[in-house]
A = this chain, B = another copy of it.
Amino acid sequence: MLRFALIGAGRIGKMHANHIASNDKCVLEVVYDLNTKASKEIANKHNCNIAKSAKEAILNKNIDVVYITSATSTHIEYILLAAKSGKSIFCEKPIDLDILKVDKCRKELKKYNVPIHIGFNRRFDLSHKSAKEAKDSGEIGNLEMIIITSRDPRPSTLSYHKYSGGIFKDMTIHDFDLACFILGNDPIIEISVYGGNLFSSTIKKINDLDTAMIIMKSKSGVLCHINNSRHAAYGYDQRLEIFGSKGMVISNNKSSSSLKKYNKNFTNANYPFYDFFIERYEQAYKDQLENFAQCLINHKPTSVNFEDGRNALIIANAAYKALSLNKSIKIKYN
């Protein structure tokens, strides 16, 4: 059994706590959050301890794993604390919004040989994962194009958007990682971007975009397109299309019901898609935890590592540069 310290008891923290509780390889030992009420709630439900500080939770001798779901700005501090005390680490994305801090952390981390997993959960979605398998097995021949459609159902709160790092670091970063996941050893080396403020004056005021279109090129020449919107009337839109010399696979949207309606106005109408990521990626979150636990137990490298988290951030930075210079930007990773 792996024993977990959960740092962060917000909405996402609660979700992770439930997934830990229902996984037969994991036990929640201790929880910490600045918000005492939130940590108490989790402690009561899952019968675990409450730490008085993040440090206390992380240094707890009974735990094997530090599960970091606190505010982004605290990630690096907790990662390093956990690493120094020899704990395995699960950290929600992004590592940090500042590549300089990430690079410093990266250098530091090399001193400690601890497993670290960055929470790019979409890699574990059964449909996206089988798309990757179709590519790796040769089923679609040589990969030639990747098209990612990724639209939130609606904007979040203003305070969220103010500190999220902007659309590319907060939202598109998942799509950058998904593209990297499909590409495998073939890095993205070039990016062009168009952005838009098409519907949200709130997002415009804080100098962020509500809509974006991106094209990218990999080292081997694969072309990638990503389109993002901060709203979608019909629910959370998450599609991945990969096209190759022998065929194509599309990881399509999902909804809770398989009902189809037929009347004088339309036929085959399905229900709106899952509302948002917690429902849409529930299976992915669970399987990510299971995969992480298996890697630890079997002493195998984690499936999504620090480099993956850093690479996605580097691409996000290049996206901002491409946007401001209005031209194609080359991407370097060292």
Task: Indicate whether A213 reaches chain B with its CB closer than 8 angstroms.
Answer: yes
Q: Across the interface, do B248 and A223 meet the contact criterion of CB distance under 8 Å?
A: no
What is the number of residues of chain A that contact chain B, defined by CB distance less than 8 Å?
78
Closest to A197 in B: B221
A-B pairs, top 7 by smallest CB distance, nearest first, are A247-B263, A269-B269, A327-B327, A266-B269, A234-B262, A252-B258, A248-B262
- Cross-chain contact A251 with B258 (CB below 8 angstroms): yes
Q: Which residue of B lies closest to A234 (CB)?
A: B262
B225 and A227 contact, CB distance less than 8 A: yes
Compute how far the CA of A251 lies from the CA of B258 in the bound complex, rounded to whole angstroms: 6
With A145-B229, A262-B248 as known contacts, state yes or no: A126 contacts B270, CB within 8 Å: no
A223-281 with Cβ < 8 A to chain B: 223-225, 227, 229, 231-235, 237, 243, 245-273
**Minimum C-beta distance from A267 to chain B (A):** 5
Which residues from B are CB-within-8-Å of A251?
Answer: 257-259
Q: Which residues of B contact A22 (CB under 8 A)?
A: 22
The 16 sampled A-B contact pairs (Cβ below 8 Å) are A24-B45, A130-B271, A144-B199, A190-B194, A192-B194, A192-B215, A211-B223, A215-B215, A215-B225, A232-B243, A234-B263, A247-B261, A247-B262, A248-B263, A249-B260, A326-B328
Q: Are B259 and A232 in contact (CB under 8 A)?
A: no
- State how many copies of this chain the complex holds: 4
Among A151, A222, A243, max chain B CB count under 10 A is at A243
A326-B327, A326-B328 are known; give 11 further A-B pairs, CB within 8 A: A126-B257, A192-B215, A213-B224, A233-B263, A234-B248, A235-B267, A249-B260, A251-B258, A252-B260, A254-B258, A267-B271
CB of A180 within 8 A of chain B? no
CB distance from A236 to the nearest CB of B (A): 11
Q: Which residues of the other chain, B, contact A262 by a CB distance below 8 angstroms?
A: 233-234, 247-250
A215 touches B217 (CB 8 A): no
**A198–chain B nearest beta-carbon distance, Å:** 5
Residue of B nearest to A260 (CB): B250
Question: In the assembled complex, which residues on chain B have CB atoms less than 8 Å from the CB atom of A2?
Answer: none
Q: Are A130 and B215 in contact (CB under 8 A)?
A: no
* A257 neighbours in B (Cβ, 8 Å): 126-127, 130, 251
**Complex contact B248–A232 (CB within 8 A):** yes
Contacts of A267 in B (CB 8 A): 234-235, 253, 255, 269-273
Instruction: Choose from B253, B256, B271 the contact partner of A258 (Cβ within 8 Å).
Output: B253
Assembly CA distance A107 to B266 (angstroms) = 47
- Least Cβ–Cβ distance between A155 and chain B, in angstroms: 12
Q: Are B272 and A265 in contact (CB under 8 A)?
A: yes
| Neighbouring B residues of A139 by C-beta, 8 Å | 261, 263
Those of A188-219 within 8 Å (CB) of chain B:
190, 192, 194, 196-199, 211-217
Chain B residue numbers with a CB within 8 Å of A192 are 192, 194, 215, 328
